[in-house]
């Protein structure tokens, strides 16, 4: 029995033949925009609005009389969309994001841990979230109390004598610390000329030293990935201002001879700066102030769980020994004779203010909530769990990937792509293939001390079940690299956007959308509305 024409989709009734029900040219079906989201500008249609308001029934103010030349007749090249289109657009984009609420970030050196929701709840309390930095000190005792208590906690954790919360992040903390080192040496009559930086340090260390005006001298690591003491002795002299040491280092190795390193520096009048970005391996177990560090920064947005990535906000407090206290940025929180808290600006040897206001206060609240919620025993357990997780991954992947340093790992482990490179598969390829398995990539090609580095830091946040999923995925990728290397070299295969030309992206980045230029004889505003 023939099908009725009216029942057929995509038909052209003028050409319809009941024996050939799909005569005509149907429009080709495409995937829904939820799988292929365009720019909001590309979705715009002239005249669409996200609101509907009745006409005013009261006299209107003469806007031109009030604003003069500042009055705009239109918004220019702005997208015009309905409310539901706007909501769906940004909601769909949000589903493309990878987040710690979805899965683990195995990024090494970054300490991408879970941020407890209680931290967020506390930071949003009305008296905290709405406190203004220009409030009088008499009305800011609660906020000052938070800062003072956090400082006391961090000093206990680090074993230092004094601290500033001003710096906005890790590299900013480094900058502040080395400024203090320079000010200290200048107070002795000689700023000195150079800063020593090991090849296993964070990449910001040499940049910081150079910005502060020091020459940078590199130190090669020994076969264990640690400081070579003989090379250090040769390098340290009366021109040495400091050694910038990341401990544990970027390969996850703790400097077991740290006391002797400090003694070598101090014997020549040099200082030991410790990059504290990897404190997640030390909190509650050992204190940098006890093993010879003179000044260090902390990353609250790493070790103390506050949000990390996406450009901030961060917080990089700098703690120091008493000899550097006079040089801390101004102001500092002090307790006055009457028991109230306030800021002390009378600091003639200070390096000056390094941050507007007093730092990222919201990060202080979250970090203090994290610290108090864990307590001493919980902080120690956190450290032990982070180290255990890293070593579990190391044990399960050793043999699948090359392990360049056999020294005991702390909170992170670094493999290399040496075994896979024989088949042309590099660390970046395997990182992209890991995306197909639902994980964010590990840290690729860093630290530079390891060729083809694969740097993994699970933190204490991850369960054994989650670690096993990551391990199984990486083991499978190792097998694929041996049996079907092209599969790995062309990954990812399951993402909405496939592999990019990274060379072209680096050399010719296109970071801004522009409305098409108006044709000759067409007003720009008109052209903008008719993209």
Q: How far is CA 406 from the centre of its chain?
A: 28
What helix, strand, coil percent values describe the chain, rounded to 5? 40, 10, 50
Last residue of a domain, one of 326, 346, 373: 373
Predicted structure pTM score: 0.85
C-alpha to C-alpha distance for 262 and 273, rounded to whole angstroms: 10
Residue 492 CA to residue 437 CA, distance in Å, equals 9
- CB-based contact 427:444 (threshold 8 Å): yes
The three-class DSSP label of residue 377 is helix
Q: Are residues 360 and 454 in the same domain?
A: no
Q: In this predicted structure, what is the pLDDT of residue 119? A: 92
CATH number, domain of 335, equals: 3.40.640.10
Q: Are residues 226 and 252 in the same domain?
A: yes
**pLDDT at res. 12:** 42
Mean per-residue pLDDT pooled into runs of 10, the chain (531 residues): 42 47 59 75 87 80 79 81 93 86 90 90 93 92 97 98 96 97 97 95 92 96 92 97 95 94 98 96 97 97 82 88 98 94 96 92 95 96 98 98 95 97 98 95 94 97 96 97 97 88 88 72 50 42
Residue 86 lies in a domain: no
Question: Which two three-digit tokens encode residue 80?
Answer: 């015009």
Residues 392, 294 share a domain: no
Q: Is residue 68 part of a domain?
A: no
CATH number of 444's domain: 3.90.1150.10
Q: Find tokens 């896979």 and name the residue.
A: 420
Residues 344 and 389 in one domain: no
Question: Are residues 401 and 281 part of one domain?
Answer: no
- Domain count of the fold of the chain: 2
Q: Residue 353 and residue 179: Cα distance in Å, rounded?
A: 11
- In this prediction, residue 519 carries a pLDDT of 64
- CA–CA gap between residue 208 and residue 196 (Å, rounded): 12
Residue with tokens 């990059």: 275
If DSSP codes are grouped into helix, strand and coil, which group holds residue 30?
A: coil
Residues 290 and 248 in one domain: yes
- For residue 446, is it within any domain? yes
Identify whether residues 387 and 365 lie together within a single domain: no
Please name the residues in contact with 232: beta carbons below 8 A apart, sequence gap of 6 or more: 196, 219, 243, 261, 264
Q: Hey, what are 65's tokens?
A: 């009389």
Structure tokens belonging to residue 60: 């209107």
Domain extent, residue 212, equals 117-373
Mark whether 352 and 474 lie in a shared domain.
Answer: no
Element (H, E) at 275: strand 271-276
């Amino acid at each position: 029995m023939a099908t009725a024409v009216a029942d057929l989709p995509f038909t052209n009734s003028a050409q319809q033949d009941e024996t050939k029900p799909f005569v005509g040219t149907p429009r080709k079906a495409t995937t829904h925009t939820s799988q292929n989201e365009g720019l909001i500008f590309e979705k715009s249609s002239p005249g669409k609005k996200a609101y509907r308001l009745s006409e005013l029934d009261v006299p209107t103010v003469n806007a031109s009389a009030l604003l003069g030349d500042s009055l705009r007749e239109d918004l220019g090249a702005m997208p015009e969309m309905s409310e539901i289109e706007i909501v769906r657009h940004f909601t769909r984009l949000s589903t493309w994001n990878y987040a710690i609420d979805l899965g683990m970030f195995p990024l090494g050196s970054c300490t991408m841990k879970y941020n407890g929701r209680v931290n967020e709840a506390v930071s949003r309390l009305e008296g905290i979230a709405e406190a203004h930095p220009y409030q009088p000190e008499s009305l800011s005792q609660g906020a000052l109390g938070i800062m003072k208590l956090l400082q006391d906690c961090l000093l206990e954790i680090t074993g230092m004598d004094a601290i500033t919360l001003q710096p906005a992040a890790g590299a900013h903390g480094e900058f502040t610390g080395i400024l203090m080192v320079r000010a200290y040496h200048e107070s002795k009559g000689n700023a000195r000329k150079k800063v020593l930086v090991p090849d296993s340090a964070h990449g910001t260390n040499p940049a910081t030293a150079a910005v502060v005006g020091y020459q940078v001298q590199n130190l090669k690591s020994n076969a264990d990935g640690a400081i070579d003491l003989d090379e250090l002795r040769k390098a340290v002299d009366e021109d040495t201002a400091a050694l910038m040491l990341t401990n544990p280092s970027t390969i996850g190795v703790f400097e077991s001879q740290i006391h002797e390193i400090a003694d070598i520096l101090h014997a020549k009048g040099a200082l030991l700066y410790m990059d504290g970005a990897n404190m997640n391996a030390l909190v509650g177990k050992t204190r940098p102030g006890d093993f010879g560090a003179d000044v260090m920064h902390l990353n609250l947005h790493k070790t103390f769980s506050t949000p990390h990535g996406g450009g901030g906000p961060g917080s990089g407090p700098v703690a120091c020994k008493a000899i550097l206290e006079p040089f801390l940025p101004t102001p500092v929180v002090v307790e006055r004779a009457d028991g109230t808290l306030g800021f002390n600006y009378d600091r003639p040897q200070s390096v000056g203010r390094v941050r507007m206001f007093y730092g990222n206060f919201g990060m202080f609240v979250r970090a203090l909530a994290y610290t108090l919620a864990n307590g001493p025993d919980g902080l120690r357990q956190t450290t032990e769990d982070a180290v255990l997780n890293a070593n579990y991954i190391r044990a399960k992947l050793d043999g699948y990937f090359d392990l360049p340093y056999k020294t005991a790992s702390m909170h992170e482990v670094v493999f290399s792509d040496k075994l896979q490179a024989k088949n042309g598969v590099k660390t970046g390829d395997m990182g992209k293939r890991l995306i197909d398995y639902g994980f964010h990539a590990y840290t690729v090609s860093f630290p530079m001390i390891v060729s083809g580095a694969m740097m993994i830091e699970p933190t204490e946040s991850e369960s054994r079940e989650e670690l096993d999923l990551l391990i199984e995925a990486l083991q499978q990728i190792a097998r694929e690299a041996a049996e079907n290397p092209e599969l790995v070299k062309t990954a990812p295969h399951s993402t909405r956007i496939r592999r990019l030309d990274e060379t072209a992206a680096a050399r010719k980045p296109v970071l801004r959308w522009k409305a098409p230029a108006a044709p000759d004889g067409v007003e720009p505003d008109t052209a903008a509305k008719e993209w």
